[in-house]
Structure 1
């Protein structure tokens, strides 16, 4: 064998694995992996979901009202104002079976009739309550519309949402690659629009006053294993926080990403959510942890303020040197270690 042939063979041996490593996982490849390791997502109709209530000062808005502020706004964008925070007729669906937990959220950003076929965003969290593996799916942005077109006629037709790994949809229905965004775009994160994993830093499902109204329609796994699979999410390694005798970790874990930047403050009256009205900014709605809160504000402060402040101090402990702060890798296997 000539030297040139040997060199080419050597280059080929190294180049092929490198090309495979840099290949961006497609939607269908990711969806196949998720179906194989967690379970398949069935087709569904967003209009079959349960309405997430919207109220202003305890009353639902009128039939043609689209309030900018409300008692329990959506926290899909927890730190910045966004369309749809107080728009009626967004819906939630629980498509779970056995250990395969599937939560679908169909969001309205503009006012439409309850059973209109159009939505502005469809999000699915797919989680296995046994092995902890989790996948994230989000619809592509709606196609741009001209100013002459009515906003209510825009959006995504979501009366048959395709399974993310579906190759051949029924005639006249969108394919998976037409409907769903790529895993790389779902995993991308910015300061204004953090990725799913950064917000869902303590577990696959987040409680808020908004989603808490339909919490019986949401699967939960607050203490189970939890890890995001797929190439696009491989760089995320979540940590949980605790301090000695902390009252905030009795019902669920506390993460160190958006729990620090948003949810610790929002759930304890230290931050005001965009979309909050007067009622939402007053006690007890601005203190929504613990979820069964029935105490006076003075009683709440006595029971919880020290624990909240301790966790917020841990949020500032980037070097993990505070002896009162324990940081633990998210449990995704039997090997769990703590950092103090």
Structure 2
């Protein structure tokens, strides 16, 4: 479908700042960052990954056998959307909602390689800490484990914990520093460019276990993240932004196309067929024709904005 050029001139760009610039630009340690996040957002409690909800993997509607590790599946993870990897469909990852009140905490324990189950060993742990009132957000990612078959997650330490209980790993040994988390070109904020919690076909299966704040305040604190600004865009009457923001980074490059059927994430036939190919909006119960009538114009308007999101209306 060719969209009239006038749509390009109707892009509104909003810039979200990541918080006040701090006078002291010395790199924060993990404990300093963890303490700031706990103070301004809330404490992350210690947790066991196995207390979380397992995220299903199905192939043609059926779960794989215990010994199987399918490369393709119906609802793949999109953590590496531009690549085909066996990790997209690895079974036994888990999600935990550790929220209380306005303090929203989502913990994701990821399996990247097959293991005999049950196990307390995972390949990666990530935590998003967000305050639904003030919008402040913090990001934590585990260090890669090279000495054993994964990371022991029987007790994941709070990132501000100075001394662990006897026999347990210390926070500074478990978590990357904030500078390490913020350093990659494609980091947390580049993917979570529309909000702190991101949907995928994989996560959609356990979306009731994920805290959400799609239109609330959103900023990132900590010296490592102070230069990473969030940009969001809209067009008049756009159906997509009526539910959540649309960012100008990875949302433009991958997620907007993958979630609306205009790009295929390179997985199996079920994943690339309607309705799973159109996993936005959530709980899609429309026919394909109904979906197109409701959303195609809005999607193409945003895709045009992605070509030059700095265009604004005077």
Is TM > 0.5 for Structure 1 vs Structure 2?
Answer: yes
Q: What corresponds to 2:10 in structure 1?
A: none
Q: How does 1:189-268 map to 2 (within 5 A)?
A: 189-190=184-185, 194-268=186-260
User: 1: CA distance between counterparts of 2:116 and 2:208?
Assistant: 24
Identify unmatched segments of 5+ residues in structure 1.
1-19, 145-152, 324-339
Residues 260, 312 of structure 1: 8 Å contact kept: yes
1:242-272 alpha-carbon deviations (Å, 9 max, x no partner): 1011111121111111110111100011112
Q: What corresponds to 2:278 in structure 1?
A: 287
Q: What corresponds to 1:7 in structure 2?
A: none
Secondary structure in 2 aligned to 1:84? helix
Residues 81, 265 of structure 2: 8 Å contact kept: yes
Which protein, 1 or 2, shows the higher relative CO under an 8 Å CA cutoff with sep ≥ 6?
2
Give the number of the structure whose alpha-carbon radius of gyration is greater: 1
**TM-score of the superposed pair, with normalisation by structure 2:** 0.90
Moved more, 236-245 or 290-299: 290-299
Q: What corresponds to 1:328 in structure 2?
A: none
Identify unmatched segments of 5+ residues in structure 2.
1-22
Q: How big is the shift at 1:22?
A: 4.3
Q: How big is the shift at 1:80?
A: 2.0
Residues 84, 107 of structure 1: 8 Å contact kept: no
Q: What corresponds to 1:321 in structure 2?
A: 311
Count of aligned positions: 292
Q: What corresponds to 1:131 in structure 2?
A: 134
User: 1: CA distance between counterparts of 2:119 and 2:250?
Assistant: 33
Q: What corresponds to 1:78 in structure 2?
A: 81
Give 4+ residue runs of structure 1 displaced > 4 Å after superposition.
none
Q: How does 1:1-340 map to 2 (within 5 A)?
A: 21-144=24-147, 154-190=149-185, 194-274=186-266, 276-318=267-309, 320-321=310-311, 323=313
Q: How big is the shift at 1:322?
A: 5.3
**TM-score of the superposed pair, with normalisation by structure 1:** 0.83
Note the aligned Cα RMSD (angstroms): 1.4
Secondary structure in 2 aligned to 1:85? helix
Residues 314, 322 of structure 1: 8 Å contact kept: no
User: 2: CA distance between counterparts of 1:83 and 1:162?
Assistant: 29
